[in-house]
Amino acid sequence: MSKVRVRFAPSPTGPLHMGGVRTALYNYLFAKKHGGDFLLRIEDTDQNRYVPGAEQYIMESLQWCGIHWDEGPGTENAFGPYRQSERKEIYRQYAMQLIESGRAYYAFDTPEELEAMRKRIEAEKSGNPQYDSRSRLSMKNSLTLSGDDVERRLAAGENYVIRIKTPENEEIVLEDIIRGTVKVHSSQLDDKVLFKSDGMPTYHLANVVDDYLMKISHVIRGEEWLPSAPLHVLLYQSLGWEASMPQFAHLPLLLKPDGNGKLSKRDGDRLGFPVFPLQWKDPNSGETSSGYREAGYFPEAFVNLLALLGWNPGTEQEIFSLEELVASFSLERVGKSGSKFDPEKAKWFNHHYLQSQPVEIVAEQMQEMARQQGQENTLEKLQKIATLMRERANFVYEILEQSQFFFEAPTHYDEGFAKKRWKEDTPEILKKLADVLEEVEPFDTESIHQVTHQFMEENQVGAGKLMPGLRLALVGSGMGPDLSTIMEILGREESLQRIRHAAENLKV
């Protein structure tokens, strides 16, 4: 097999959908698995749909996921440039080659004439209302006009397009790695536009020319491109490149959580999950869409969950690092049918990565988030909190939310819990305990634990009596982790202050 070279070829028309990231990921995994190259190519020939910032967004998304390209905008390489708008001259040359070999033709029809043709075919019910091998001979093009007329129109700068001349009666067959044999009869295909008089190719021509020149071995892309694949095969044949045609693999769709249709931005808004890797602010409408990064996902979790939306390892294993994915990935294990996106499962993945992350990293992220809310904390304290609290959280911000009592003394006490557990003699017992804790050395979990139990024994107070009151004083509610650990993290001064404050002020 020749060297594996694959490409991710997004059009910068907006933010990258998570399905697009999955396409990039599968390309990357396939390339790395086979020791090949992964290219990023920006398909920006459609100037009308160009959105400023989208290219930058796409690159930043891939970088965040750890999907690094070997070649792409910004890399010096013989196969570049990697932005189609910078390759305009190349496409013209191949459009001319197709004209000269009779595989394509000029067409001068106006939008009104095209519309009239469609209406006529519809009314006659004589076939597909399209520009094709049946209708082309009744249109204004270099097949019906004289050579002089065509020359005159071109010289006069008349608007034209170059269309492929689809063969009349041929079966086009392609082998798709995922979908198997795909057959289409050429009579179903229309004479697609390949090139326009503004000097720009359309997607189809540019895509095929670039895949050929960049020596792409496998085209791995979304299922929405399957209907274009027969045309691409025709183009390879027409350009005489059949022998170096890449292999195709069309990936199944990502489906809504209920399985009914393609996962869209609206589903995310409706059900409260992001469909984009990073937050995106639309430069035209100013509307902001949420992203996985900003929602608190680890890139490792996002990549892991995407990998399993369409591919399965054939085992029960669900947790995969990027390296493990590279080692296990194969296109043969990508299913034909769409994969339902499950937002709860997405959280489950993040939960896992939150637990396995070095605690230092979690603490750093907590520090940064708390800082943005105006709270300053030492990493040492945050590491202890993270160790204690992360097991119950799916996201770093949830640890912070559930740890607020570490940062602020209770401003009020859970009334229901206090009514049940705060007894008449609780204040007195707590004050006594505070005096004892004053002397504990060192003020750490173990010593606090030991002294508290000794205190209970000496004073004939059961845990059921002491602990709920102590918890109310320290946390403000009946919940939270082990009290000795809480006290160690709070420190002696803060702990005793809270205990004494509650003893003085909490009345039920």
Active site residues: 265
Stretch that binds ligand GLU, among 8-16, 49-57, 183-191, 249-257 (CB under 6 A): 8-16
Residue with token string 């930043």: 60
The reply on whether position 27 binds ligand GLU by CB under 6 A is: no
Binding mask 258-277 toward ligand GLU (x if CB under 6 A, else -) reads --------------------
The reply on whether position 291 binds ligand GLU by CB under 6 A is: no
Nearer to ligand GLU, 237 or 387 (CB): 237
Nearer to ligand GLU, 203 or 349 (CB): 203
Return the residues of window 209-238 that contact ligand GLU according to CB under 6 A. Answer: 221, 225
Stretch that binds ligand GLU, among 9-17, 150-158, 165-173, 286-294 (CB under 6 A): 9-17
Rounded least distance, CB 49 to ligand GLU, Å: 10
Stretch that binds ligand GLU, among 7-15, 69-77, 136-144, 268-276 (CB under 6 A): 7-15
- Compute CA distances 371 → 193, 363, 486, whole Å: 55, 12, 21
Rounded least distance, CB 224 to ligand GLU, Å: 8
Residue with token string 């637990």: 355
For ligand GLU, which residue of 10, 14, 19, 480 counts as binding (CB under 6 A)? Answer: 10
Rounded least distance, CB 220 to ligand GLU, Å: 8
Nearer to ligand GLU, 34 or 221 (CB): 221
Q: Which of 105, 101, 236, 99 is nearest to 173 (CA)?
A: 236
**Cβ density class 312-335: b for 16+ within 10 Å, e for less:** ebeeeeeebebeebbebbebeebe
CA angle 294, 300, 305 (to 5 degrees): 90
**In the numeric block, which tokens belong to residue 329?**
């990935």
Answer whether 506's CB lies under 8 Å from 421's CB: no
- Compute CA distances 500 → 418, 435, 448, 487, whole Å: 16, 10, 17, 14
Nearer to ligand GLU, 207 or 452 (CB): 207
What DSSP letter does each residue of 362-414 carry, written as one string?
Answer: HHHHHHHHHHHTT----HHHHHHHHHHHGGG-SSHHHHHHHTHHHHS--SS--
Nearer to ligand GLU, 218 or 347 (CB): 218
Which one-letter amino acid corresponds to residue 201?
A: P
For ligand GLU, which residue of 11, 133, 135, 495 counts as binding (CB under 6 A)? Answer: 11
The reply on whether position 24 binds ligand GLU by CB under 6 A is: no
For ligand GLU, which residue of 9, 172, 193, 255 counts as binding (CB under 6 A)? Answer: 9
Q: Which of 204, 23, 169 is nearest to 98 (CA)?
A: 204
Nearer to ligand GLU, 203 or 311 (CB): 203
Rounded CA-CA distance 30/357 in Å is 27
**How many of the chain's residues bind ligand GLU (CB under 6 A)?**
8
Return the residues of window 175-214 that contact ligand GLU according to CB under 6 A. Answer: 203, 207
DSSP bridge partners of 107? 141, 161
Answer whether 212's CB lies under 8 Å from 244's CB: yes
The reply on whether position 83 binds ligand GLU by CB under 6 A is: no
Rounded CA-CA distance 192/95 in Å is 13
Nearer to ligand GLU, 10 or 268 (CB): 10
The reply on whether position 43 binds ligand GLU by CB under 6 A is: yes
Residues interacting with ligand GLU, by CB under 6 A? 9-11, 43, 203, 207, 221, 225
